[in-house]
């Protein structure tokens, strides 16, 4: 990570404004990058770019290196003469409805594919490279046969070469459709990334520690996961009860068979990390603590309470990355112990600090601004937290008064002047200023906290089903908000 003090904003691609039901890699992404540049913001952090599966979570994907077809910009497809202006206008909607997107967006993308000259040299080279071979075969089989890969006939389920070749040949157009989606996604992403680089705006990506069970990743490499002979999970991932959930979190992802990874010198993981590092400028590893020790739960358990801690690969996982190690951020939140702290120290990766966890009255609280060191990324909150405004609104009058006194004390310690009112006035700004003022080299603020938005703009509530991942801006952040942020960035030398 860059050693100079910098500021960033957290906003996922899906949350960008636009007329087509979900954010995209088109003009609104470029306009947002322009606003970041003008405000002096040097980092734009996003969530995983992947194609989402059941539950619409970017942390549960059909393939860990895929790009989400929903993010393919329709206007750019029209510019390529793959869609008509009338077809693009027909896709207009104010609602972020994942069910409707699934029904209508893929139908529109199939129209674009039907007009695409897929015998062109660049596309043939893209397919031949093989990066999305497993993905395209997996999605072809999903489209034709439905269900999970465990529901397919034995040959396809266990990836018999003859069955794979028959699928590729007999359903060749379907196979090419899924290759086309990745071709267009990465063409648009690479153009946006290059534009941001020219502006001096660096992109922070995010990779989940685990992959989804119903994915091309597990289907292609079952030997790397704790599966039974029937290829169904034996142990699944989660976390014990913590401040996010009283029952813990039962994620359901199959856990890794780390001894198999180590036997191959972590080839699969090294490839995954190198792909991420070529996609982004910095990469945040979600649930980093699972690399030291991970929590596994019986696959048939109903809650995460009765799990077991097991040793992970620790720093051995990163031995083959070389200089790229300097571009990794460790999400070290949750149940943290000396083992995780030691692993962070040995790798040198910056960890994360969240100010919403800071004000419990404990002067040794590691999230208090005065206790945050340089080698950290500080946030007001993350995609898993309520917004600052939403958190304030959830407090009783007595709880708010106590919080206000603690925040006021922190402001005084940092020499920051912000008036804190009786009803939350000034508090969002106080959190932003405290993040920008502290010693952490990088401060990243969710756009919701820059704009002072409430709980209805929360991105995700862990442990809940439905209603998550739907936050969107209705318009670009105003010049007034970005101008205030620019002044703060200058004041705190970021």
Please identify every residue annotated as catalytic.
286, 331, 384
- CA dist., res. 438 & res. 371, Å (int): 9
Beta-bridge partners for 293: 311
E strand spans, 279-419 = 282-285, 293-298, 308-311, 328-330, 351-354, 376-379
Q: Which two tokens stand for residue 304?
A: 């995460």
Give the pairing type, strands 235-239 and 249-254.
antiparallel
What phi and psi values does residue 312 have, to the nearest 5 degrees? -95, -170
Beta-bridge partners for 6: 442
Closest CA to 430 of 376, 380, 480, 367: 380
Alpha carbon 98 to its chain centroid, in Å, reads: 17
- CA dist., res. 140 & res. 161, Å (int): 15
Closest CA to 253 of 461, 464, 61: 61
Q: What angle do CA 193, 197, 201 make, to 5 degrees?
A: 100
- CA dist., res. 357 & res. 173, Å (int): 51
- CA dist., res. 126 & res. 70, Å (int): 20
Beta-bridge partners for 376: 351
Helix (H) or strand (E) run with residue 202 in it:
strand 202-207
- CA dist., res. 198 & res. 195, Å (int): 5
Q: Which two tokens stand for residue 82?
A: 């793959």
Compute and round to an integer the Cα radius of gyration of the chain.
23
- CA dist., res. 314 & res. 349, Å (int): 13
- CA dist., res. 486 & res. 489, Å (int): 5
Q: Between the CA of residue 432 and those of 129, 150, 208, 445, what are the distances in Å?
A: 45, 48, 26, 7
Question: How many C-beta atoms surround the C-beta of residue 62 within 10 A?
Answer: 23
């Amino acid at each position: 990570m860059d050693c100079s003090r910098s500021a960033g904003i957290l906003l996922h691609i899906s949350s960008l404004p636009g007329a087509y039901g979900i954010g995209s890699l088109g003009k609104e992404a470029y306009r947002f990058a322009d606003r970041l540049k003008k405000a002096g913001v040097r980092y734009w952090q996003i969530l995983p770019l992947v194609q989402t599966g059941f539950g619409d979570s970017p942390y549960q994907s059909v393939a860990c290196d895929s790009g989400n077809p929903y993010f393919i910009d329709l206007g750019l497809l029209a510019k390529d003469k793959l869609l008509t202006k009338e077809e693009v206008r027909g896709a207009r909607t104010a609602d972020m409805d994942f069910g409707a997107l699934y029904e209508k967006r893929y139908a529109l993308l199939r129209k674009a594919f039907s007009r695409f000259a897929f015998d062109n040299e660049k596309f043939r080279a893209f397919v031949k490279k093989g990066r999305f071979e497993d993905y395209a075969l997996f999605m072809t089989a999903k489209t034709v046969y439905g269900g999970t890969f465990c529901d397919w006939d034995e040959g396809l389920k266990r990836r018999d070469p003859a069955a794979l070749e028959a699928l590729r040949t007999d359903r060749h157009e379907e196979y090419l459709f899924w290759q086309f989606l990745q071709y267009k996604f990465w063409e648009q992403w690479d153009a946006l990334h290059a534009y941001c680089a020219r502006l001096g705006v660096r992109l922070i990506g995010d990779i989940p520690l685990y992959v989804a069970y119903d994915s091309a990743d597990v289907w292609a490499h079952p030997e790397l996961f704790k599966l039974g002979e029937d290829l169904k999970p034996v142990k699944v991932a989660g976390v014990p009860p913590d401040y996010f959930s009283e029952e813990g979190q039962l994620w359901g992802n199959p856990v890794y068979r780390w001894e198999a990874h180590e036997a191959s010198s972590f080839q699969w993981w090294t490839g995954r990390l190198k792909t991420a590092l070529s996609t982004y400028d910095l990469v945040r590893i979600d649930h980093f603590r699972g690399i030291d020790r991970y929590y596994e739960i019986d696959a048939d358990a109903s809650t995460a309470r009765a799990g077991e801690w097991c040793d992970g690969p620790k720093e051995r996982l990163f031995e083959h990355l070389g200089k790229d190690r300097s571009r990794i951020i460790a999400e070290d939140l949750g149940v943290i112990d000396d083992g995780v702290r030691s692993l962070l120290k040995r790798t040198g990766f910056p960890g994360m600090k969240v100010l919403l966890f800071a004000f419990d009255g404990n002067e040794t609280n590691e999230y208090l601004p005065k206790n945050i060191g340089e080698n950290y990324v500080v946030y007001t909150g993350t995609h898993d937290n309520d917004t600052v405004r939403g958190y304030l609104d959830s407090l009783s009058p007595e709880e708010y008064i106590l919080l206000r006194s603690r925040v006021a004390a922190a402001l005084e310690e940092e020499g920051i002047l912000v008036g804190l009112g009786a009803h939350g006035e000034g508090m969002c700004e106080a959190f932003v200023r405290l993040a920008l003022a502290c010693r952490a080299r990088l401060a990243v603020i969710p756009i919701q906290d820059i704009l002072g938005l409430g709980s209805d703009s929360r991105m995700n509530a862990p442990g809940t089903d439905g209603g998550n991942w739907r936050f969107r801006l209705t318009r670009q952040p105003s010049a007034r908000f970005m101008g205030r942020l620019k002044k703060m960035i200058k004041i705190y030398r970021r």
